[in-house]
Amino acid sequence: MKIISLKEGNFVADKIKNFKILEENPEAKGVKMSIQPFLIITENDYILIDAGFGWKNIEGKLIINKILEEENIHTSQITKILLSHLHKDHINGTLIKTDHGYKPNFPNAKIYIQKRELDFAFESRGNPSFDFEVLEALIQQLNIIWMDDDQGKINNEIYYEVVGGHTPFMQIFKITENNEIVFYGADNLPQESYLKYHVAYKSDFDGKKAMQLRIEWQKEAIENNWKVLLYHDLEKSILQF
């Protein structure tokens, strides 16, 4: 497998989930995090794991698209988009806003969404973690695969499981090819520091469950030499066990 980090940058997010570039706002108060989707290239697929915030550079081009361009990859080559949950910093990069509404950023990709996570989002009107304008445009796309099961396999390479924790129906992914295992714990395991300090974070829907999952995943990662993808880590993208 080839793993490409599509890091949009390091940010600081305030209490109402306004994001600012950390480098430009070093004194800003809030949670410091990267926003870092990943492209996994296997023999059969170009897999995007979460889609970022849709942050643009000074030229008005999506940063994730710019990185893909530098890697000589066209957005039309992406075959699958795996969405762990529906917070705006994980989904907004799926679409591009135009003068006539939204269009798909990855026109040939199937988008995998957990249906119960969508139901939770719409029950959370007013929650600033969601961008309901983008979310409502996203679910109108024709290439969505609605997921209902607690766990299963999308194909022989991709395993998913609804684990909860950060959100009630957040799902994680494991991609396996040629004895190589890539694991994505999404916002239950977004930074390496989450493994050093066993803390139940109040920002999670169920912080105790997320904490327990991290303990279990770390043990399994060591035993099976996982490569763990860190979506929000300020410095690292992949943690090799």
For 82-109, the pLDDT digits (tens) are: 999 999 999 999 999 999 999 999 999 9
- Identify which of 12, 85, 76 has the alpha carbon closest to the alpha carbon of residue 50: 85
* Residues 197/236, Cβ–Cβ less than 8 Å: no
Write out pLDDT tens, residues 225-237.
Answer: 999 999 999 999 9
- Identify which of 85, 36, 27, 16 has the alpha carbon closest to the alpha carbon of residue 191: 36
Pairing outcome for strands 144-147 and 151-153: unpaired
91/59 Cα distance (integer angstroms): 21
Torsion of CA 10, 128, 188, 24, to 10 degrees: 10
Task: State residue 184's pLDDT score.
Answer: 98
Q: Residue 162, Cβ neighbours under 10 Å: how many?
A: 18
> How much of the chain, in percent, has pLDDT values that exceed 70?
100
3/238 Cα distance (integer angstroms): 9
Mean of the per-residue pLDDT values of the chain? 97
> What band does 22 get if pLDDT is binned at 50, 70 and 90?
very high
Write out pLDDT tens, residues 148-191.
Answer: 999 999 999 999 999 999 999 999 999 999 999 999 999 999 99
* Residues 118/104, Cβ–Cβ less than 8 Å: no
Q: pTM score > 0.85 for this model?
A: yes
Mean pLDDT across 198-207: 94
Strand partners, 147: 114
109/235 Cα distance (integer angstroms): 29
43/79 Cα distance (integer angstroms): 12
Task: State residue 74's pLDDT score.
Answer: 98
91/94 Cα distance (integer angstroms): 6
Task: Find tokens 């396999």 and name the residue.
Answer: 153
48/109 Cα distance (integer angstroms): 9
Task: State residue 80's pLDDT score.
Answer: 98
Phi, psi angles (nearest 5°) of residue 106: -125, 80
Task: Find tokens 């974070």 and name the residue.
Answer: 201
Whether 58 shows a pLDDT value over 90: the answer reads no
Mean pLDDT across 112-128: 96
205/40 Cα distance (integer angstroms): 28
